[in-house]
Structure 1
Amino acid sequence: MPRQVDHDARRRQIAEAVWRLATRGGLEDVSLRQVAAEAGVSARLLQYYFGTRDQLLLGALEILNADAERRARERLVHLDGTGDMRAIVRGVLLEMLPLDEERHSRYLVHVAFFVRFLADEDLAKAVRDGPRALEDLVTDLIRQGQELGRARPDIDARAEAAFLLAGAEGLQASMLLGQRTPDDAVALLDHQIDRIFPEKQTRRPA
């Protein structure tokens, strides 16, 4: 009887090979043959699951981001239903910082993808034109905080969300370079979050 193939596991096996190559030497010149060898599969099987090299890179990035989203949900599950929008926003932003080995490795892979996308307009366009899910999430959380009277009512939630995310992204590199300690980076984020979610707020009038 033929063995049942776990297609999701096989796709992950291939994606993890892309991530390892990304952290070791970047993705500028990576080939399907290199990924197949790293994953321990045939090039034909790799193409069966992902297609072209560009589709492979985008697919591997999609799996990486899905992993990050799942881990973030697991870390934030204890805040679900509490209505503490400040804590939830803070948790989302902390997921972006390389505060442990998992997040450190994820950031290095993202850097490799970023450099690759700079050199390939088609790949860059596929990412650029995608939905801004994280920005939408933080925007919605700030707006909910405003409705609950826990965030400043006089701010633009979308602009603040974009600024917070850009700040977290900027802190990533300075942490890896040793310019800022994890404590310093977290303190800077807290400073900006406290500006949006001051301790004393009242419910916005209906």
Structure 2
Amino acid sequence: MPKLVDHEERRALIIDALLRDAARTGLHAVTMRSVAQEAGISVRLVQYYFDTKEQLLLAALTRLGVRMGERVRDRVRAATAGSAAPPSPREIVEAVLVEAVPTDEESRTFHLVYTAYAVLSVTDPALAGQSFLAAPDEMEAFLVDRLTAAAVTDPHLEAVALLALSAGLGLSVLLGQRTPEAATAVLHHHLGRLFRAP
């Protein structure tokens, strides 16, 4: 009896291979052939699931967004484990911002590949119209809500500053300017001042 194929599992295998390949060689260097080689399957099988490289790139981008959300939720749960109270606005804001710093292989891959997508979208019309470009605006609105709940003065201005700070720190880690621990310490320091009781 022939073995049943789990198509979603196969698609995930291919997408994860693209992400690993892009993190290692750069998004610009990814090809259907390099993804197939990374996944240990044939190019024909990659093309069975994704007709074009563009489809594969967009599927990988969606996967990045979903996984980032999962990691933020996991980080909030870990920070509030054992507490009966819901997470505080600070705990939520901190989880979001710290996740933007490449502290492990998965977050390093996310930061590298997401940044590459953003840069590529400036010149690639197929990517320019994609919803991932709205993600920074959505994140900003999310942070404004949390900062407003915490009665932070000028929550919109602070949300913009926090996102710029975390993005800049993430890039500085990728470039080797500072360690993940040093970048995270800067975030903790700034949040400590921002959420200090009046």
Shift of the alpha carbon at 1:87? 1.9
Range with greater deviation from structure 2 (30-39 or 127-136): 127-136
Aligned length: 193
| Deviation readout 1:101-160 (Å, 9 max, x if unpaired) | 3322332333443443344233133256534432232222112222xxxxx2x31x2332
Residues 22 and 198 (structure 1 numbering): CA distance in 2 closer, same or farther, change over 3 Å? same
- For residues 199 and 28 of structure 1, the distance between their equivalents in structure 2, rounded to whole angstroms, comes to 47
Residues 8 and 158 (structure 1 numbering): CA distance in 2 closer, same or farther, change over 3 Å? farther
2:90 corresponds in structure 1 to 86
* Equivalent pair of 2:36/2:42 in contact (CA under 8 Å): yes
* Equivalent pair of 2:101/2:170 in contact (CA under 8 Å): yes
Q: 2:150 aligns with which of 142, 145, 148?
A: 145
* Equivalent pair of 2:18/2:35 in contact (CA under 8 Å): yes
| Deviation readout 1:180-203 (Å, 9 max, x if unpaired) | 233432232234323432223xxx
- For residues 25 and 119 of structure 1, the distance between their equivalents in structure 2, rounded to whole angstroms, comes to 20
2:62 corresponds in structure 1 to 62
- For residues 21 and 188 of structure 1, the distance between their equivalents in structure 2, rounded to whole angstroms, comes to 31
- For residues 73 and 128 of structure 1, the distance between their equivalents in structure 2, rounded to whole angstroms, comes to 19
- For residues 122 and 24 of structure 1, the distance between their equivalents in structure 2, rounded to whole angstroms, comes to 23
* Equivalent pair of 2:173/2:183 in contact (CA under 8 Å): yes
Pairs within 5 Å for 1:8-157: 8-78=8-78, 79=80, 81-127=85-131, 129-131=133-135, 132-146=137-151, 152=152, 154-155=153-154, 157=155
Shift of the alpha carbon at 1:161? 1.6
**SS across alignment from 1:28:** helix
Residues 41 and 136 (structure 1 numbering): CA distance in 2 closer, same or farther, change over 3 Å? farther
1:166 aligns with 2:164: yes
TM-score by length of 2: 0.81
- The amino acid that maps onto 2:107 is R
Percent identity for Structure 1 against Structure 2 = 41
Unaligned runs of 5+ in 1: 147-151, 201-206
1:177 aligns with 2:175: yes
| Deviation readout 1:32-87 (Å, 9 max, x if unpaired) | 23323332334443334333211210111211221222122112114384342112
TM-score by length of 1: 0.79
Shift of the alpha carbon at 1:96? 0.8
Shift of the alpha carbon at 1:91? 1.5
